[in-house]
Amino acid sequence: QVQLVESGGGLVQPGGSLRLSCAASGSIFSFNYMGWYRQAPGKQRELVATILSGGTLNYADSVKGRFTVSRDNAKNTVYLQMNSLKVEDTAVYYCKGARRFYDYWGQGTQVTVSS
């Protein structure tokens, strides 16, 4: 059973930073890509960032220049460094591991940006 566990969410003021972690039960290279998504109340889940198995990074326009996705292969962990946070970044953030026929999702971690 594949399991993804997110951590690192919390309450932060506008302009602050957080680093989210996604720990996989197995090798992250078993996935075609790993991704971060977020969902705010009343809105659909949206893509934030992805990292392909080969290392290519992709970001949503709304977070470019502020967020950085990275990985620690030895720890089978993917990170999302979030800087210059805005109120509109408030959402539940989910980690995704994508395979050919099935996607695996973490339980989500709440990020709240508020003064």
Please identify which residue in the block is written with the tokens 């290392």: 55
Question: 61: pLDDT confidence band, cut at 50, 70 and 90?
Answer: very high
Write out pLDDT tens, residues 8-45: 999 999 999 999 999 999 888 889 999 999 999 999 99
Mean pLDDT of the chain: 96
Residue 64 has pLDDT above 80, yes or no: yes
Mean per-residue pLDDT, 69-94 = 97
- Is residue 84 pLDDT above 90, yes or no? yes
SS (H, E, C) the chain: CCCEEEECCEEECCCCCEEEEEEECCCHHHCCEEEEEEECCCCCCEEEEEEECCCCEEECCCCCCCEEEEEEHHHCEEEEEECCCCHHHCEEEEEEEECCCCEEECCCEEEEECC
**pLDDT value at position 26?**
85
Cβ-based burial of 15 (10 A; exposed 0-12, middle 13-18, buried ≥19): exposed
